[in-house]
Chains A and B, each alone.
Chain A
Amino acid sequence: MGDILDILTTAAFWAAAIRIATPLIFGTLGELICERAGVLNLGIEGIMTAGALTGWLSVYLGADLATGVLLAALVGVVFGLLHGLFTVPLGLSQHVTGIGITLLATSLSYFVYRVVLPDTSSPPRIDAFPPVAAELGGIPVLGPLLFQQTALTWLALLAVIVVAYVLYRTPVGLAVRTVGENPAAAEAQGIDVTVVRIGAVMVGSALMAVGGAFLTMSAFNAFFFEMVNGRGWICIALVVFASWQPGKALLGALLFGAFDAYQVRLQQTVGSLVPYQLFLMLPYLLSILALVVMSRRAAYPKALMIPYRKGER
Chain B
Amino acid sequence: MVRFGRRLALCMMGALAAGFAAADASAQDKVSVAAVYTVPIEQQWVSRIHLALNAAKERGEIDYVYSENVANTDYERVMREYAEQGADLIIGEAFGVERGARNVAAQYPETAFLMGSSLPAQEPNFAVFDNYIQEAAYLTGIVAGSVTKSGLIGMVGGYPIPEVNRLMNAFMDGAREVRPDIKFSVTFIGSWYDPPKAKEAAFAMVDGGADVLYAERFGVSDAAKERGVYAIGNVIDTAADYPGTVIASALWHMEPTIEKAVEAVRSGSFKAESYGVYSHMQYGGSSLAPMDPAIVGQETIDLVEEKTQAILDGSLVVEIDDAEPQSTL
* Chain A residues within 8 Å of B, Cβ to Cβ: 10, 12-13, 16, 19-20, 110, 119-123, 125, 215, 219-222, 224-227, 229, 260-261, 264-265, 267-268, 270-273, 276-277, 280
Q: Write out the residue numbers on chain A whose beta carbons fall within 8 Å of the beta carbon of B50.
A: 121
Judge whether B189 is part of the interface by a CB distance below 8 angstroms. yes
- Asked if A272 and B200 make an inter-chain contact with CB atoms under 8 angstroms apart, the answer reads no
Contacts of A110 in B (CB 8 A): 40, 69
B241: nearest residue on chain A (CB-CB)?
A125
Q: Is B327 in contact with A272, judged by CB distance below 8 angstroms?
A: yes
CB distance from A272 to the nearest CB of B (A): 4
A-B contact pairs, 29 of them (CB 8 A): A10-B207, A119-B41, A121-B50, A121-B236, A122-B42, A122-B47, A122-B236, A123-B42, A215-B196, A220-B195, A220-B218, A220-B222, A224-B40, A224-B42, A224-B218, A225-B40, A225-B42, A227-B193, A229-B193, A264-B204, A267-B185, A268-B208, A268-B327, A270-B329, A271-B187, A272-B186, A272-B328, A272-B329, A280-B189
CB-based nearest A residue for B50: A121
Q: Does B199 lie at the interface of the complex (its beta carbon under 8 Å from any beta carbon of A)?
A: yes
What CA separation (Å) do A220 and B329 show in the bound complex? 30
- 14 more contacts with CB within 8 A, not counting A226-B194, A272-B186, are A119-B54, A122-B218, A125-B241, A215-B196, A220-B222, A227-B194, A227-B195, A267-B187, A268-B204, A270-B329, A272-B327, A273-B329, A276-B187, A276-B188
B248 at the interface (CB under 8 A from A): no
| A-chain residues with CB within 8 Å of residue B196 when the two chains form the complex | 20, 215, 219-220, 227
Q: Are B190 and A280 in contact (CB under 8 A)?
A: yes
Residue in B190, B195, B328 with the greatest tally of chain A CB atoms within 10 Å: B195
B144 in contact (CB, < 8 A): no
Q: How far is the CA of A282 from the CA of B329 in the complex (A)?
A: 21
Complex Cα–Cα for A128 and B39 (A): 25
Closest-CB distance, A90 to chain B (whole angstroms)? 31
Chain B residues lying within 8 Å of A120, measured Cβ to Cβ, are: 41-42
Select which of A12, A16, A220, A272 is within 8 A of B326 by beta carbon: A272
Contact with A along B27-56 (1 / 0, CB 8 A): 000000000000111101001001100100
B238 at the interface (CB under 8 A from A): yes
Closest to A262 in B: B204
CB distance from B114 to the nearest CB of A (A): 21
| Chain B contact residue count (CB 8 A cutoff) | 42
Asked if residues A265 and B208 are in contact (CB atoms below 8 Å), the reply is: yes
Interface residue B112 (Cβ < 8 Å from any Cβ of A): no
With both chains docked as a complex, state the minimum distance between the C-beta of A25 and any C-beta of chain B, in angstroms.
14
Q: Tell me, in angstroms, the Cα distance from A222 to B199 when the chains sit together.
A: 13
Bound-state Cα–Cα, A28 to B51, Å: 41
With A and B bound together, what is the CA distance between A222 and B188 in angstroms? 21
- B190 partner residues in chain A, CB cutoff 8 A: 276-277, 280
Give A222 to B197 CA distance when docked, in angstroms: 13
- A277: which B residues are within 8 A, CB to CB? 190
- Residue of A123, A215, A267 most packed against chain B (CB within 10 A): A267
In the complex, B252 has a CB within 8 A of chain A: no
Q: Which residue of A lies closest to B210 (CB)?
A: A268
How far does the alpha carbon of A227 sit from the alpha carbon of B195 in the complex, in Å?
7
A268–B187 contact, CB under 8 A? yes
Task: Tell me if B47 and A121 are in contact (CB < 8 A).
Answer: yes
The CA-CA distance from A276 to B190 in the complex, in Å, is 9
Chain A residue numbers with a CB within 8 Å of B201 are: 264
B208 (CB) vs chain A CBs: closest residue: A268
> What distance in Å separates the Cβ of B110 from its nearest Cβ neighbour in chain A?
30
Residues of A within 8 A of B39 (CB): 225
Q: Tell me whether B327 and A220 are in contact (CB under 8 A).
A: no
In the complex, the answer to whether A276 meets B160 with C-beta atoms within 8 Å is yes
A121 partner residues in chain B, CB cutoff 8 A: 41-42, 47, 50-51, 236
Q: Which of B69, B186, B189, B236 has a CB less than 8 Å from the CB of A271?
A: B186
- Interface digits, B242-271 against A, CB 8 Å rule (1 contact, 0 not)? 000000000000000000000000000000
Write the nearest CB–CB distance from A111 to chain B, whole angstroms.
11
The distance from the CB of A40 to the nearest CB of chain B, in whole angstroms, is: 26
Q: Are A225's CB and B326's CB within 8 A?
A: no
The answer for the CA separation of A228 and B160 in the assembled complex, in Å, is 21
Q: Which residue of B lies closest to A110 (CB)?
A: B69
A264 B195 Cβ-Cβ under 8 A: no
State whether B203 touches A12 (Cβ < 8 A): yes
Residues of B contacting A219 in the complex (Cβ-Cβ under 8 angstroms)? 195-196, 199
Q: Is B150 among interface residues, defined by CB-CB distance under 8 A? A: no
B219 contacts partner chain A, Cβ-Cβ < 8 Å: yes
Which residues in window 190-228 of B have CB below 8 A to A?
190-197, 199-201, 203-205, 207-208, 218-219, 222
Q: Is the CB of A224 within 8 A of B238?
A: no
CB-based contact A19/B200 at 8 Å: yes
Q: How distant is the Cα of A276 from the Cα of B285 in the complex, in angstroms?
A: 32
